[in-house]
Amino acid sequence: MDDEIPTSASGRWTITSFADVERIGCENPVVADLPLSADVAVIMYTSGSTGLPKGVMMTHGNVLATVSAVMTIVPGLGSKDVYLAYLPLAHILELVAENLIPAVGGVIGYGAPLTLTDTSSKIKAGTKGDATVLSPTVMASVPAILDRVREGVLKKVDAKGGLSKKLFDLAYARRLSAINGSWAGAWGLEKLLWNFLVFKKVRAILGGRIRFLLSGGAPLSADTQRFINICLGAPIGQGYGLTETCAGATFSEVDDTSVGRVGSPLPCSFVKLIDWPEGRYLSSDSPMPRGEIVVGGPSVTLGYFKNEEKTKEVYKVDERGMRWFYTGDIGQFHADGCLEIIDRKKDIVKLQHGEYVSLGKVEAALIISTYVDNIMLHADPFHSYCVALVVASQCAVEDWASKQGVAFTDFADLCEKEETVKEVHSSLVLIAKKSRLEKFEIPAKIKLLSTPWTPESGLVTAALKIKREAIRKAFSEDLAKLYTS
């Protein structure tokens, strides 16, 4: 039959080692028709988080520029490294990573977000997760996944309670003090002791050998960054880049322990800030220049596939022939040349009385609540306050209900109860105050949702970034009720 699996003449499979394949290739050379640097290598579509996805045309030169730049930043990257690939290859961060690792002779193992750890949702009882089996040394991630790792560990610590929790809290506080620069923190032998007694088990979640983590795709909260530094004992490099810049822009140094920043420009990139008067961000601002981030250099892509109008809008070529991409993100440069993302032009809404609300900034602050799985802040120019759609964390909310004696039939019923909404809202207000948000930035009302937002639902991207317009459309009635009730 045509669909039968072919076999050798002897009826047995023949396995050829990679070394033999290389030898056979050397003995039978083929004249390669190699691409030019300017040839299109990939057409990658944007996530669609800010509208319809657009096909970005990347050249071989674009990919090579970013890969070669990152090679100079990650320390000691080489043949001994093992990389766990689980992000979709349609994400620019993963595309660069999977070109980078073979370039340095490293090993790639493939997994999936839902089978990443021993406790992942698609792992059968008694089965090991991808990270446990592979024991990677290097990983790339997006903040949403790192936030879930942190949340999962803290839930387990709280569940154990007693001496275990006190020991964890003490170890964490001591190491946090050290990382923040205090000589009174845990250093030397004390650091080794805490690593052995407390953090060794946490590190086993990702295989126990992680020496470097890369986070990109969205801002990483300060709390999660510190958690990774302490509990996994690994530096976390925050990068900033876009599909349109082939991930190239900035990358933080390994020894930079500051939070909230995305590093200095990569060797393949030029970064400048231009004024955005409407949002009151100016390159002349003091003490730090602020403005829209514009990226130039060999990593900047050709433009959008069959969309010349949009290409001309955001891609510019200067008098020297250098291509620049206007990101729409707002940043500020610190005195040491490191960039910090502080806003996005499309995420800023002016309220009824003239206050400006940065939706992304507020969401990044509030999502660390243990009750929150996901959140979208909504601001209406015709009202004086914000509201929010909150996807509840089922484990945390049901645990609270059990302790408080709140009866419910199912999780959807629990999310509708007034006392549940009040508890989650109080948690958000408390976190907002700790994050020093203005009163008008704190959601005055929330709608609690029981169903997670997944890429399959069309409400988040493959990298788990919210699709704001899709969510607004799907929950338009709920948002309207929050302003009328």
Structure tokens at 382: 């015709």
CA–CA separation, 420 and 413 (whole Å): 10
Please compute the mean of the pLDDT values over residues 400-421 and round it to a whole number.
94
Residue 31 has pLDDT above 90, yes or no: no
Question: Dihedral of CA 356/361/365/367: which sign?
Answer: positive
Greater model confidence, 32 or 317:
317
pLDDT given for residue 359 in this prediction: 92
Most confident of 57-66, 334-343, 430-439: 57-66
Tokens of 308: 């010349």
How distant, in Å, are the alpha carbons of 299, 374, 387, 425 from that of 440?
39, 21, 10, 15
* C-alpha span between 479 and 262 (Å, rounded): 34
227 pLDDT more than 80:
yes
Torsion angles phi and psi, residue 424, rounded to 5: -65, -40
Helices (H), 352-417: 359-366, 394-404, 411-416
Query: Rounded distance, CA 284 to CA 274, Å?
Result: 10
Res. 322 pLDDT band, cuts 50 70 90: very high
Whether 9 has a pLDDT exceeding 60, the answer reads: no
- In terms of average pLDDT, the best of 22-31, 87-96, 298-307 is 298-307
Structural contact between residues 386 and 440, judged by C-beta atoms closer than 8 angstroms? yes
Of the chain, the percentage scoring pLDDT greater than 70 comes to 97
Q: What is the radius of gyration, based on Cα positions, of the chain?
A: 24
**How would DSSP label each residue in 21-72?**
HHHHHHHS-----PPPTTSEEEEEE---TTSS--EEEEEHHHHHHHHHHHHT
Q: What is the dihedral of CA 138, 144, 145, 146, to 10 degrees?
A: 60
Q: Which single residue is written with the structure tokens 């407390």?
A: 198
For residue 79, the model assigns a pLDDT of: 93
Angstrom distance (rounded) from CA 149 to CA 397: 18
**pLDDT band per the 50, 70, 90 thresholds, residue 293:** very high
Report the pLDDT value the prediction gives residue 6, as an integer from 0 to 100: 54
pLDDT of 221 > 90? The answer is: no
Give the torsion through C-alpha atoms of 315, 319, 320, 326, to 10 deg.
Answer: -20
In degrees, rounded to 5, the angle at the alpha carbon of residue 178 between the alpha carbons of residues 175 and 179 is: 90
55-59 and 82-85 beta bridge pairing: unpaired
Contact 93, 214 (CB under 8 A): yes
Q: Per residue in 49-105, pLDDT tens?
A: 666 789 999 999 999 999 999 999 888 899 999 999 999 899 999 999 999 999 999
Residue 171 half-sphere exposure, CB side, CA atoms within 13 Å?
26
Supply the pLDDT for residue 145: 84
Q: Which CATH number fits domain 351-484: 3.40.50.10470, 1.10.3720.10, 3.30.300.30, 1.10.8.50?
A: 3.30.300.30
Mean pLDDT check: name the lowest of 4-13, 262-271, 306-315.
4-13
What is the C-alpha separation between 40 and 57, in angstroms, rounded?
6
Q: Decide which of 219 and 319 is more confident.
A: 319
**Tell me, what's the pLDDT at 58?**
98
**Other Cβ atoms within 10 Å of 166 Cβ, number:** 10
Which CATH topology does 72-234 take?
Answer: Rossmann fold (3.40.50)
Contact between 69 and 268 under an 8 Å Cβ cutoff? The reply is yes
At 50 the pLDDT is: 63
Asked whether the predicted pLDDT for residue 244 surpasses 50, the reply is: yes
Give the global pTM.
Answer: 0.77
Residue that wins the pLDDT comparison between 115 and 315: 315
Task: Specify the pLDDT at position 4.
Answer: 57
**Average pLDDT score over the chain:** 90
Q: How far apart are the first and last CA of the chain?
A: 67
Domain ranges of the chain: 72-234, 351-484
Distance (Å) of CA 67 to CA 64, 73, 79, 104, 296: 5, 10, 16, 10, 16
The whole-number average pLDDT for the span 456-479 is 90
Tokens of 481: 């009720």
When mean pLDDT is compared across 155-169, 176-190, 241-255, 299-313, the lowest value belongs to 176-190
Q: Which segments of 259-373 does DSSP mark as H helices, in order?
A: 308-314, 359-366
How far is it, in rounded angstroms, from Cα 303 to Cα 324? Answer: 11
Task: Give pLDDT, residue 405.
Answer: 93
pLDDT band at 161 (very low <50, low <70, confident <90, very high): confident
Worst-scoring range by mean pLDDT, 17-31, 44-58, 303-317?
44-58
Distance from C-alpha of 384 to C-alpha of 349, rounded to nearest angstrom: 11
Q: Residues 467-478: pLDDT tens digits?
A: 998 999 999 999
Contact 234, 213 (CB under 8 A): yes
Q: What is the pLDDT of residue 1?
A: 47
Residue 446 neighbours by CB distance under 10 Å: 22
138-141 vs 82-85, strand pairing mode? parallel
pLDDT bin (cut points 50, 70, 90) of residue 180 is: confident
